[in-house]
Amino acid sequence: MNKSLIQWSSEEFSDLPWRSNRTLYRTLVSEIMLQQTTVSTVLNHFERFVSEYPSPKHVALASEEQLTISWKGLGYYRRARNLKKACEYFCKNFNGEIPLDYNLLIDAPGIGEYTANALLAIGADKKALALDANLERVLSRLYGFKMQKGPKLLKHLKSKFEKGEIAKEIDELGARKLNESLMDLGRNWCKANKAACDICPLFSGCMAAKSGSPLEIPQRPPKSGAKSFNLTLLRLICFKDDLVYVYKKRENEWLSGQYEIPTFVLSSEDQTLTQYPSIKFFEHDLLPEYKTLITKYKITNKVMIVNEVEMRQLNIDVSQFELRRPDSKSNLSTATLKALKIFT
Protein backbone atom coordinates (compact mmCIF):
# COMPACT_ATOMS: atom_id res chain seq x y z
CA MET A 1 0.00 0.00 0.00
CA ASN A 2 1.32 3.41 -0.89
CA LYS A 3 0.66 7.14 -0.84
CA SER A 4 -0.66 7.13 -4.42
CA LEU A 5 -3.66 5.11 -3.20
CA ILE A 6 -4.28 7.64 -0.42
CA GLN A 7 -3.91 10.54 -2.84
CA TRP A 8 -6.37 9.02 -5.34
CA SER A 9 -8.93 8.38 -2.60
CA SER A 10 -8.59 11.89 -1.16
CA GLU A 11 -8.92 13.57 -4.54
CA GLU A 12 -11.96 11.56 -5.58
CA PHE A 13 -13.98 11.17 -2.40
CA SER A 14 -12.97 13.78 0.19
CA ASP A 15 -16.13 15.78 -0.54
CA LEU A 16 -18.44 13.02 0.74
CA PRO A 17 -20.43 14.81 3.49
CA TRP A 18 -19.51 12.36 6.25
CA ARG A 19 -15.83 12.90 5.38
CA SER A 20 -15.76 16.64 4.75
CA ASN A 21 -17.48 17.41 8.07
CA ARG A 22 -16.44 14.58 10.32
CA THR A 23 -17.65 13.74 13.82
CA LEU A 24 -18.01 10.38 15.56
CA TYR A 25 -21.77 10.68 15.37
CA ARG A 26 -21.78 11.49 11.65
CA THR A 27 -19.46 8.53 11.11
CA LEU A 28 -21.86 6.29 13.03
CA VAL A 29 -24.85 7.42 10.97
CA SER A 30 -23.00 7.08 7.66
CA GLU A 31 -21.66 3.62 8.45
CA ILE A 32 -25.10 2.31 9.39
CA MET A 33 -26.69 3.93 6.33
CA LEU A 34 -24.03 2.50 4.01
CA GLN A 35 -24.66 -1.07 5.11
CA GLN A 36 -26.27 -2.78 2.08
CA THR A 37 -26.96 0.62 0.49
CA THR A 38 -25.04 2.44 -2.24
CA VAL A 39 -23.16 5.68 -1.67
CA SER A 40 -25.36 7.45 -4.23
CA THR A 41 -28.51 6.53 -2.29
CA VAL A 42 -27.05 7.60 1.05
CA LEU A 43 -25.96 10.93 -0.45
CA ASN A 44 -29.63 11.71 -1.08
CA HIS A 45 -30.55 11.31 2.59
CA PHE A 46 -27.52 11.81 4.86
CA GLU A 47 -27.47 15.60 5.36
CA ARG A 48 -31.24 15.79 5.76
CA PHE A 49 -31.16 13.08 8.42
CA VAL A 50 -28.30 14.53 10.49
CA SER A 51 -29.91 17.97 10.27
CA GLU A 52 -33.10 16.52 11.69
CA TYR A 53 -31.20 14.44 14.27
CA PRO A 54 -27.91 16.29 14.94
CA SER A 55 -26.76 14.12 17.87
CA PRO A 56 -27.24 10.73 19.54
CA LYS A 57 -29.59 12.40 22.04
CA HIS A 58 -31.91 13.52 19.25
CA VAL A 59 -32.08 9.97 17.87
CA ALA A 60 -32.62 8.48 21.32
CA LEU A 61 -35.51 10.85 22.06
CA ALA A 62 -37.23 10.32 18.71
CA SER A 63 -40.07 7.83 18.51
CA GLU A 64 -39.48 4.73 16.42
CA GLU A 65 -42.20 5.92 14.05
CA GLN A 66 -40.55 9.33 13.59
CA LEU A 67 -37.23 7.66 12.88
CA THR A 68 -38.77 5.25 10.38
CA ILE A 69 -40.35 8.14 8.48
CA SER A 70 -37.01 9.95 8.37
CA TRP A 71 -35.30 6.75 7.16
CA LYS A 72 -37.69 6.46 4.20
CA GLY A 73 -35.84 5.84 0.95
CA LEU A 74 -32.91 4.01 2.56
CA GLY A 75 -34.65 0.67 3.10
CA TYR A 76 -33.65 -2.02 5.62
CA TYR A 77 -35.50 -0.24 8.41
CA ARG A 78 -34.02 -2.51 11.04
CA ARG A 79 -30.89 -0.36 10.72
CA ALA A 80 -32.83 2.69 11.90
CA ARG A 81 -34.00 0.77 14.96
CA ASN A 82 -30.41 -0.39 15.59
CA LEU A 83 -29.21 3.22 15.40
CA LYS A 84 -31.84 4.24 17.94
CA LYS A 85 -30.87 1.41 20.31
CA ALA A 86 -27.20 2.36 20.08
CA CYS A 87 -27.92 6.04 20.71
CA GLU A 88 -30.14 5.19 23.68
CA TYR A 89 -27.27 3.13 25.09
CA PHE A 90 -24.78 5.97 24.61
CA CYS A 91 -27.15 8.43 26.28
CA LYS A 92 -27.83 6.15 29.23
CA ASN A 93 -24.23 5.14 29.85
CA PHE A 94 -22.04 7.93 28.43
CA ASN A 95 -24.21 11.06 28.53
CA GLY A 96 -24.71 10.94 24.78
CA GLU A 97 -21.01 10.59 23.93
CA ILE A 98 -19.68 7.73 21.80
CA PRO A 99 -16.88 5.94 23.71
CA LEU A 100 -13.57 5.29 21.97
CA ASP A 101 -13.10 1.80 23.37
CA TYR A 102 -13.77 -1.31 21.31
CA ASN A 103 -15.19 -3.35 24.20
CA LEU A 104 -17.55 -0.56 25.21
CA LEU A 105 -18.68 -0.05 21.62
CA ILE A 106 -19.31 -3.72 20.99
CA ASP A 107 -21.52 -3.83 24.09
CA ALA A 108 -23.89 -1.29 22.57
CA PRO A 109 -27.00 -2.85 21.01
CA GLY A 110 -27.03 -2.34 17.26
CA ILE A 111 -23.22 -2.04 17.07
CA GLY A 112 -21.40 -5.00 15.58
CA GLU A 113 -17.70 -5.73 15.17
CA TYR A 114 -17.44 -3.89 11.86
CA THR A 115 -19.20 -0.73 13.04
CA ALA A 116 -17.12 -0.63 16.23
CA ASN A 117 -13.89 -0.81 14.24
CA ALA A 118 -15.18 1.76 11.73
CA LEU A 119 -15.90 4.22 14.55
CA LEU A 120 -12.37 3.74 15.87
CA ALA A 121 -10.51 3.75 12.56
CA ILE A 122 -12.57 6.15 10.45
CA GLY A 123 -14.26 8.23 13.12
CA ALA A 124 -11.31 8.63 15.50
CA ASP A 125 -8.29 7.67 13.34
CA LYS A 126 -7.28 4.98 15.84
CA LYS A 127 -5.45 1.84 14.78
CA ALA A 128 -8.15 -0.60 13.68
CA LEU A 129 -9.28 -2.41 10.56
CA ALA A 130 -12.93 -2.07 9.54
CA LEU A 131 -13.39 -5.30 7.64
CA ASP A 132 -16.38 -4.80 5.37
CA ALA A 133 -16.90 -6.71 2.11
CA ASN A 134 -14.62 -4.29 0.24
CA LEU A 135 -11.67 -4.65 2.61
CA GLU A 136 -12.18 -8.41 2.77
CA ARG A 137 -11.91 -8.62 -1.02
CA VAL A 138 -9.09 -6.10 -1.53
CA LEU A 139 -6.85 -7.47 1.24
CA SER A 140 -7.47 -11.08 0.14
CA ARG A 141 -6.37 -10.23 -3.39
CA LEU A 142 -3.47 -8.03 -2.31
CA TYR A 143 -1.94 -10.72 -0.09
CA GLY A 144 -3.14 -13.73 -2.11
CA PHE A 145 -5.31 -15.37 0.53
CA LYS A 146 -7.11 -18.07 -1.46
CA MET A 147 -9.79 -18.72 1.12
CA GLN A 148 -13.55 -18.78 0.84
CA LYS A 149 -15.30 -15.50 1.47
CA GLY A 150 -16.99 -15.46 4.86
CA PRO A 151 -16.37 -15.66 8.63
CA LYS A 152 -13.21 -17.81 8.44
CA LEU A 153 -11.55 -15.41 6.01
CA LEU A 154 -12.52 -12.41 8.14
CA LYS A 155 -11.08 -14.12 11.21
CA HIS A 156 -7.89 -14.88 9.26
CA LEU A 157 -7.52 -11.26 8.14
CA LYS A 158 -8.14 -10.00 11.66
CA SER A 159 -5.49 -12.34 13.05
CA LYS A 160 -2.95 -11.32 10.39
CA PHE A 161 -3.61 -7.65 11.13
CA GLU A 162 -3.25 -8.07 14.90
CA LYS A 163 0.09 -9.86 14.33
CA GLY A 164 1.27 -7.00 12.13
CA GLU A 165 1.52 -9.21 9.03
CA ILE A 166 -0.88 -7.21 6.82
CA ALA A 167 -1.70 -3.51 6.46
CA LYS A 168 1.65 -2.73 8.06
CA GLU A 169 1.49 0.77 6.58
CA ILE A 170 -1.36 1.76 8.87
CA ASP A 171 0.93 3.64 11.27
CA GLU A 172 2.59 5.59 8.47
CA LEU A 173 -0.49 6.33 6.37
CA GLY A 174 -3.01 6.64 9.20
CA ALA A 175 -5.88 4.33 10.07
CA ARG A 176 -8.57 6.60 8.67
CA LYS A 177 -6.91 7.17 5.31
CA LEU A 178 -5.90 3.53 4.93
CA ASN A 179 -9.37 2.15 5.69
CA GLU A 180 -11.22 4.66 3.55
CA SER A 181 -8.87 4.32 0.57
CA LEU A 182 -9.16 0.52 0.61
CA MET A 183 -12.96 0.80 0.80
CA ASP A 184 -12.93 3.24 -2.13
CA LEU A 185 -10.69 0.89 -4.09
CA GLY A 186 -12.98 -2.08 -3.49
CA ARG A 187 -16.10 -0.09 -4.29
CA ASN A 188 -14.79 1.38 -7.54
CA TRP A 189 -11.93 -0.62 -9.06
CA CYS A 190 -11.42 -3.91 -7.23
CA LYS A 191 -14.99 -5.16 -7.51
CA ALA A 192 -16.27 -8.68 -6.99
CA ASN A 193 -17.00 -9.21 -10.70
CA LYS A 194 -14.52 -6.78 -12.23
CA ALA A 195 -10.96 -5.83 -11.31
CA ALA A 196 -9.39 -2.80 -13.02
CA CYS A 197 -5.85 -4.02 -12.35
CA ASP A 198 -4.32 -1.89 -15.12
CA ILE A 199 -5.12 1.36 -13.29
CA CYS A 200 -4.90 0.12 -9.70
CA PRO A 201 -2.24 1.87 -7.58
CA LEU A 202 -1.59 -1.42 -5.76
CA PHE A 203 -1.04 -3.45 -8.92
CA SER A 204 2.73 -3.94 -8.54
CA GLY A 205 2.40 -5.61 -5.15
CA CYS A 206 -0.88 -7.48 -5.65
CA MET A 207 -0.62 -11.26 -5.52
CA ALA A 208 -3.99 -11.80 -7.20
CA ALA A 209 -3.06 -9.52 -10.11
CA LYS A 210 0.22 -11.38 -10.57
CA SER A 211 -1.68 -14.68 -10.68
CA GLY A 212 -3.64 -13.44 -13.68
CA SER A 213 -6.94 -14.50 -12.09
CA PRO A 214 -7.85 -11.81 -9.55
CA LEU A 215 -11.56 -12.55 -9.71
CA GLU A 216 -10.95 -16.01 -8.25
CA ILE A 217 -9.86 -14.43 -4.96
CA PRO A 218 -11.48 -14.64 -2.51
CA GLN A 219 -13.20 -17.89 -3.35
CA ARG A 220 -16.94 -17.59 -3.54
CA PRO A 221 -19.06 -19.84 -1.34
CA PRO A 222 -21.03 -22.49 -3.21
CA LYS A 223 -24.45 -21.40 -4.33
CA SER A 224 -27.04 -22.30 -1.75
CA GLY A 225 -29.65 -23.08 -4.35
CA ALA A 226 -32.02 -20.74 -2.58
CA LYS A 227 -35.24 -20.54 -4.52
CA SER A 228 -37.14 -17.41 -5.35
CA PHE A 229 -40.93 -17.39 -5.27
CA ASN A 230 -43.56 -15.56 -7.27
CA LEU A 231 -46.14 -13.87 -5.09
CA THR A 232 -49.26 -11.97 -6.11
CA LEU A 233 -50.81 -9.61 -3.58
CA LEU A 234 -54.08 -7.69 -3.58
CA ARG A 235 -53.76 -4.24 -2.03
CA LEU A 236 -57.06 -2.50 -1.23
CA ILE A 237 -57.36 1.26 -0.99
CA CYS A 238 -60.33 2.32 1.10
CA PHE A 239 -60.83 6.00 1.89
CA LYS A 240 -62.97 7.63 4.52
CA ASP A 241 -63.13 11.33 3.85
CA ASP A 242 -59.48 12.32 3.30
CA LEU A 243 -58.02 9.41 5.27
CA VAL A 244 -57.16 5.86 4.23
CA TYR A 245 -57.58 2.59 6.12
CA VAL A 246 -54.24 1.03 7.14
CA TYR A 247 -52.78 -1.33 9.72
CA LYS A 248 -49.45 -1.38 11.54
CA LYS A 249 -46.99 -4.13 10.65
CA ARG A 250 -45.97 -6.29 13.61
CA GLU A 251 -42.42 -6.93 14.82
CA ASN A 252 -42.05 -10.28 13.03
CA GLU A 253 -43.43 -9.02 9.72
CA TRP A 254 -41.82 -7.35 6.74
CA LEU A 255 -41.48 -3.58 7.21
CA SER A 256 -42.37 -3.87 10.90
CA GLY A 257 -43.50 -0.65 12.52
CA GLN A 258 -44.76 0.83 9.25
CA TYR A 259 -48.34 1.07 8.02
CA GLU A 260 -49.86 -0.69 5.04
CA ILE A 261 -53.22 -0.65 3.34
CA PRO A 262 -55.20 -3.91 3.66
CA THR A 263 -53.13 -6.51 1.81
CA PHE A 264 -53.95 -10.11 0.94
CA VAL A 265 -52.35 -13.04 -0.86
CA LEU A 266 -53.96 -13.91 -4.18
CA SER A 267 -51.41 -16.58 -5.09
CA SER A 268 -48.04 -17.73 -3.79
CA GLU A 269 -45.53 -20.33 -4.88
CA ASP A 270 -44.39 -20.49 -1.26
CA GLN A 271 -47.05 -22.36 0.66
CA THR A 272 -45.37 -21.53 3.99
CA LEU A 273 -45.78 -17.76 3.63
CA THR A 274 -47.56 -16.22 6.63
CA GLN A 275 -46.93 -12.50 6.07
CA TYR A 276 -50.43 -11.80 4.76
CA PRO A 277 -53.82 -13.54 4.93
CA SER A 278 -55.19 -15.12 1.78
CA ILE A 279 -58.29 -13.96 -0.05
CA LYS A 280 -60.42 -15.48 -2.80
CA PHE A 281 -60.77 -12.85 -5.44
CA PHE A 282 -61.06 -14.06 -8.99
CA GLU A 283 -61.46 -10.99 -11.20
CA HIS A 284 -58.04 -9.42 -10.75
CA ASP A 285 -56.35 -9.83 -14.13
CA LEU A 286 -57.29 -6.34 -15.32
CA LEU A 287 -56.43 -4.54 -12.09
CA PRO A 288 -53.54 -2.06 -12.22
CA GLU A 289 -50.33 -3.50 -10.84
CA TYR A 290 -46.72 -2.78 -9.97
CA LYS A 291 -43.75 -5.02 -9.19
CA THR A 292 -41.63 -5.18 -6.04
CA LEU A 293 -38.96 -7.44 -4.58
CA ILE A 294 -38.45 -8.43 -0.97
CA THR A 295 -36.10 -11.12 0.30
CA LYS A 296 -36.75 -14.18 -1.92
CA TYR A 297 -40.11 -13.01 -3.30
CA LYS A 298 -40.89 -11.48 -6.68
CA ILE A 299 -44.13 -9.67 -5.97
CA THR A 300 -46.88 -8.58 -8.32
CA ASN A 301 -49.03 -6.06 -6.46
CA LYS A 302 -52.60 -5.74 -7.71
CA VAL A 303 -54.34 -2.57 -6.60
CA MET A 304 -58.04 -1.93 -6.21
CA ILE A 305 -59.93 1.01 -4.74
CA VAL A 306 -62.96 0.02 -2.67
CA ASN A 307 -65.43 1.55 -0.22
CA GLU A 308 -66.45 0.28 3.22
CA VAL A 309 -69.47 -1.60 1.85
CA GLU A 310 -67.27 -3.46 -0.65
CA MET A 311 -64.80 -4.26 2.12
CA ARG A 312 -67.58 -5.92 4.10
CA GLN A 313 -68.71 -7.81 0.99
CA LEU A 314 -65.21 -9.25 0.85
CA ASN A 315 -65.63 -10.34 4.49
CA ILE A 316 -63.08 -7.79 5.64
CA ASP A 317 -63.76 -6.17 9.02
CA VAL A 318 -62.83 -2.49 8.69
CA SER A 319 -62.74 -2.12 12.48
CA GLN A 320 -59.38 -3.92 12.55
CA PHE A 321 -57.80 -1.03 10.61
CA GLU A 322 -57.11 2.59 11.50
CA LEU A 323 -57.32 5.79 9.50
CA ARG A 324 -54.26 7.78 8.48
CA ARG A 325 -53.39 10.52 6.06
CA PRO A 326 -52.32 9.07 2.71
CA ASP A 327 -48.83 10.57 2.58
CA SER A 328 -45.24 9.80 3.50
CA LYS A 329 -45.51 11.66 6.83
CA SER A 330 -47.86 8.95 8.10
CA ASN A 331 -45.14 6.28 8.11
CA LEU A 332 -46.75 4.38 5.25
CA SER A 333 -44.69 1.65 3.61
CA THR A 334 -43.16 2.32 0.21
CA ALA A 335 -45.39 -0.37 -1.28
CA THR A 336 -48.47 1.42 0.08
CA LEU A 337 -47.30 4.78 -1.26
CA LYS A 338 -46.80 3.19 -4.68
CA ALA A 339 -50.32 1.78 -4.59
CA LEU A 340 -51.78 5.15 -3.59
CA LYS A 341 -49.86 6.88 -6.36
CA ILE A 342 -51.64 4.76 -8.98
CA PHE A 343 -54.95 6.38 -8.03
CA THR A 344 -53.70 9.90 -7.42
Alpha helices in 149-287 (DSSP H): 151-162, 170-173, 175-188, 207-211
| Domains delineated in the chain | 1-126 (1.10.340.30), 130-173+183-221 (1.10.1670.10), 229-342 (3.90.79.10)
CA angle, corner 161, sides to 155 and 162, nearest 5? 90
Question: What's the pLDDT score for residue 1?
Answer: 66
- Residue 55's alpha-carbon distances to 62, 166, 324, in angstroms, are 11, 35, 30
Whether the link from the prior residue into 56 is cis, omega within 30° of 0, is no
Residues with catalytic annotation? 31
Per-residue pLDDT of the chain (344 residues; tens, 9 = 90+): 678 899 999 998 989 999 999 999 999 999 999 998 999 999 999 999 999 999 999 999 999 999 999 998 898 888 999 999 999 999 999 999 999 999 999 999 999 999 999 999 999 999 999 999 999 999 999 999 999 999 999 999 999 999 999 999 999 999 999 999 999 999 999 999 999 999 999 999 999 999 999 999 999 988 766 789 999 999 999 999 999 999 999 888 888 889 999 999 999 999 999 999 999 876 777 899 999 998 899 999 999 999 999 999 989 999 999 999 998 888 999 999 999 998 87
